[in-house]
């Protein structure tokens, strides 16, 4: 059995609830289910096909951004897909009524009352698509230089990167930004939100075991599963998922888990998902919400850890004179910094960093000739500021 381990913020919530009755603490030290497998009348109640579909669409779109044979209309169609359009290699994806665009910066808690910001964020992603086609594709064979877009190769015959005039890889900004704007935002700020889980008659129906029409699951169960799907939706074994099974949150949870300073974070997140789902079955909504806070804390940490990691590695590569590697690391860092605005502080309705703070960081990175001009002290300061809002140090993120 996996052990249920509380994050710092969630632990304080549990201790407060337990302190109300010293003789009865039903939720203290409880073990999470060993797998994410839940049934009703012999049928699985777990479903997150929409999340799997969007992750797979995003995989194809990210690959498409590195294909100079594609045009803006083709890539935009992959982003805004309409049911039945032949935008992907898979018939199943083409027949889907899902798309990436509609769920980007679209959470109930953060964007239902801020459509202006939601539309601006969607515009950012569309802008990166358009700029890749207009600025970078035409100079695919041109060597990049300050204020000149083109290709730049990593030292020692390493990978070739394709950058704009400021050294930014638009495909990396898009991919890492989507980790926040789609996967994290929908998980932390939508499907794990009390406003979504407890909407309408969801509590009453869950208490009574009333399922959605023609389905084996209650609405509350399904919403929780949809959050789970944005992390584990492409796993070969969703009930006992591995790590690194897509290019988004799963990949970077694997990277963070592989750092000895954060070993165990993967089990903490899985256990919180499994225990929260069991709590819904047991109608224990306080325990459910404690697990949601653990997930918010840990998923937010992943984004911050990787933002710091790439800023520091970009700085080191730059100081070593390997501008190709530096620009790649900094482009990934750019995307993870962008994603910080979709994180969620446990027990609050606020991100760890506001969109204004995020944009200020990005403007600093892109000032002048961008990555060609940015200095080590600026990168070090930015990394330190990001780490300071979390329970880890810059050194631990490396």
Residue 25 resides in a domain: no
Distance CA 78, CA 56 (A): 11
Could you read off the pLDDT of 151-166 as tens digits, one per residue? 999 999 999 999 999 9
Q: Is residue 32 very low, low, confident or very high in pLDDT (cuts 50, 70, 90)?
A: confident
- What confidence tier does 372 reach under pLDDT thresholds 50, 70, 90? very high
- pLDDT above 50: residue 1: no
Residue 363 CB coordination number (10 Å): 9
E strand segments, 126-177: 150-153, 160-163
Residue 14 forms part of a structural domain: no
Say what the pLDDT of residue 257 is: 98
223, 177, 171, 175: which is closest to 51 by C-alpha?
Answer: 223
Asked if residue 9 has pLDDT above 50, the reply is no
Q: What is the mean pLDDT of the chain?
A: 94
Residue 11 placed within a domain: no
Question: pLDDT tens-digit profile of 129-182?
Answer: 999 999 999 999 999 999 999 999 999 999 999 999 999 999 999 999 999 999
In percent, the amount of the chain with pLDDT more than 90 equals: 92
> pLDDT confidence of 30, banded at 50, 70, 90?
low
- Residue 48 in any domain: the answer is yes
| CB of 36 closer than 8 Å to CB of 46 | yes
Q: How far is CA 341 from CA 177, 184, 301, 361, 384, in A?
A: 10, 10, 12, 12, 17
Domain-located, residue 33: no
**Mind listing the pLDDT tens digit for each residue in 98-126?**
999 999 999 999 999 999 999 999 999 99
pLDDT band at 320 (very low <50, low <70, confident <90, very high): very high
In this predicted structure, the answer to whether residue 23 has a pLDDT above a threshold of 50 is no
Average of pLDDT values for 187-210? 98
Residue 334 lies in a domain: yes
Of 315, 248, 305, 239, residue with least CA distance to 277: 239
Q: How far apart are CA 248 and CA 257, in angstroms?
A: 14
The mean pLDDT value for 38-47 works out to 97
Range of the domain at 61: 43-396
Q: Is 366 a domain residue? A: yes
Mean pLDDT confidence for 53-78: 98
Question: pTM for the full model?
Answer: 0.93
Q: Name the one residue in this structure whose structure tokens are 């900094």.
A: 330
Q: From 394, 165, 202, select the one nearest 285 (Cα to Cα).
A: 202
In a domain, 30, yes or no: no
Predicted confidence at residue 12, as pLDDT, reads: 43
The residues near 201 (Cβ < 8 Å, ≥ 6 apart) are none
Q: What is the mean pLDDT of residues 207-229?
A: 98
E-only strand ranges, 183-280: none
Q: How many domains does the chain have?
A: 1
Asked if 281 contacts 206 with a C-beta cutoff of 8 angstroms, the reply is: no
To the nearest whole percent, how much of the chain has pLDDT over 70?
A: 92
pLDDT at 31: 73
Q: What is the pLDDT of residue 3?
A: 37
């Amino acid at each position: 059995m996996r052990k249920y381990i509380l994050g710092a913020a969630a632990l304080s919530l549990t201790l407060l609830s337990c302190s109300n009755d010293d003789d009865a603490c039903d939720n203290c030290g409880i073990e999470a289910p060993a797998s994410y497998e839940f049934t009703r009348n012999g049928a699985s109640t777990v479903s997150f096909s929409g999340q799997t579909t969007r992750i797979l669409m995003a995989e194809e779109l990210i690959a498409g951004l590195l294909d100079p044979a594609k045009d803006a209309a083709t890539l935009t169609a992959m982003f805004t897909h309409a049911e039945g359009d032949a935008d992907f290699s898979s018939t199943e994806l083409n027949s889907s009524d899902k798309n990436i665009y509609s769920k980007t910066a679209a959470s109930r808690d953060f964007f239902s009352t801020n459509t202006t910001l939601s539309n601006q964020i969607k515009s950012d992603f569309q802008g990166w698509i358009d700029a890749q086609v207009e600025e970078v594709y035409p100079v695919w064979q041109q060597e990049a230089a300050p204020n000149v877009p083109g290709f730049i190769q990593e030292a020692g015959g390493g990978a070739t990167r394709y950058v704009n005039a400021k050294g930014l890889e638009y495909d990396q900004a898009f991919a890492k930004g989507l980790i926040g704007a789609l996967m994290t935002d929908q998980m932390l700020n939508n499907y794990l939100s009390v406003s979504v889980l407890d909407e309408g008659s969801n509590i009453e129906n869950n208490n009574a075991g009333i399922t959605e029409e023609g389905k084996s699951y209650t609405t509350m169960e399904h919403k929780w599963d949809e959050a789970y799907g944005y992390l584990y939706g492409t796993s070969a074994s969703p009930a006992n998922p591995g790590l690194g099974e897509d290019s988004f949150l799963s990949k970077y949870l694997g990277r963070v888990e592989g750092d000895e300073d954060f070993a165990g974070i993967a089990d903490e997140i899985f256990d919180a998902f499994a225990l929260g789902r069991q709590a819904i079955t047991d109608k224990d909504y306080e325990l459910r919400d404690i697990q949601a806070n653990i997930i918010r804390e840990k998923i937010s940490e992943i984004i911050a850890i990787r933002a710091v990691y790439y800023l520091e590695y970009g700085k080191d590569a730059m100081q070593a004179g390997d501008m190709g590697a530096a620009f790649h690391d900094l482009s990934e860092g750019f995307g993870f910094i962008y994603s910080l605005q979709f994180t969620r502080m446990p027990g609050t309705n606020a991100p760890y960093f506001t969109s204004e703070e995020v944009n200020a960081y990005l403007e600093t990175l892109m000032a002048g000739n961008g990555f060609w001009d940015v200095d080590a002290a600026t990168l070090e300061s930015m990394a330190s500021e990001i780490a300071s809002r979390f329970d880890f140090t810059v050194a631990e993120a490396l």
